[in-house]
Amino acid sequence: MNAVLETQNLSKAFGGLVATNDVSFKLPAGARHALIGPNGAGKTTLVNLLTGVLQPTSGRILLKGEDITSLPSYQRVKRGLARTFQINQLFAELTPLQHIVLAISEREGAATGWWRPVGSRSDIVDEAEALLRQLTLTDVRDQRTETIAYGKQRLLEIAVALAAKPAVLLLDEPAAGVPETERHQILDVIAALPAEVTLLLIEHDMQLVFRFAKTISVLVNGGLFVEGPAAEIARDERVKKVYLGEEAVNV
């Protein structure tokens, strides 16, 4: 198995509190993997370690075989690890089109051009338009982002990450806070993501997890509790006990 993203004995302690405890996993190219766990299980810390917001106490992170453990966030993105945020991190005053043009320009090394105006590279504009169309954002293309519907903002969050053409896309609760009526849009977009992109889904919402994830890791108290194919995890009595409590699961 050729892992595109791998962690080896990854640990993070905040003083005496061990937030990530000896986590090792491998994601093959094109994986549809979900990371689940109860509140306080250490999901956020693990995401922050993977994306370079935090430095691990010990252990390594490999992206396409390369050790990225000590690289800053932006270098990891350059190497193909993009993410979305649980809480939208967008530019309130810019339009969706500007978001995407900027992300593509950065990827193409054109974001430091300081003489020719934004929009003069037609290849970048065309690609941005195509991506906005793919994510059903064409109708809000030129509106200030703070004024568009929350569900659309969640889609833009995904679009910005996709503009980097990542090998691995880390989706941090992509449907969080989206009203029920707009949820299907998010689900459809995730379902249509290119197969070669490796997806790591950090999610609370079991409906979403079981719809997309082929494999699942369950995180408890900072450590990997169990991992395996989605169907097995769904049947696992121990998982039901620690994670799902009394709630019944229908898959």
> Between residue 197 and residue 226, which ones bind other proteins under the rule CB under 8 A?
none
Tell me if 140 contacts other proteins by CB under 8 A: no
Question: Measured from the CB atom, is 39 or 116 closer to other proteins?
Answer: 116
Question: Measured from the CB atom, is 32 or 99 closer to other proteins?
Answer: 99
Tell me if 68 contacts other proteins by CB under 8 A: no
Tell me if 129 contacts other proteins by CB under 8 A: yes
Burial degree of 149 (CB within 10 A; 0-12, 13-18, 19+): middle
**Binding-site member from 11, 45, 69, 98 for other proteins (CB under 8 A):** 98
- Long-range contacts of 101-108, Cβ-Cβ distance < 8 Å, separation of 24 or more: 101/125, 101/128, 103/160, 103/163, 103/164, 104/128, 104/131, 104/163, 106/164, 107/163, 107/164, 107/165
> Between residue 31 and residue 50, which ones bind other proteins under the rule CB under 8 A?
none
Min separation Cβ 248 and other proteins, Å: 37
Buried b / exposed e over 79-112, threshold 16 CB at 10 Å, is: ebbbbbbbebebeeeebbbbbbbbbbbbbeebee
Min separation Cβ 196 and other proteins, Å: 19
Give the DSSP H/E element, type plus range, for residue 76: helix 73-78
Tell me if 101 contacts other proteins by CB under 8 A: yes
Tell me if 153 contacts other proteins by CB under 8 A: no
User: What's the distance, Cα to Cα, between the start and end of the chain in Å?
Assistant: 28
**Binding-site member from 128, 186, 190, 234 for other proteins (CB under 8 A):** 128
For helices 96-107 and 150-163, angle between their N-to-C axes, nearest 10 degrees:
10
**Binding-site member from 113, 177, 194, 229 for other proteins (CB under 8 A):** 113
Residues that bind other proteins (CB under 8 A): 51, 72-75, 77-78, 82-83, 85, 89-95, 97-98, 101-103, 105-107, 110-120, 122, 125, 128-129, 141-142, 160-161, 163-164
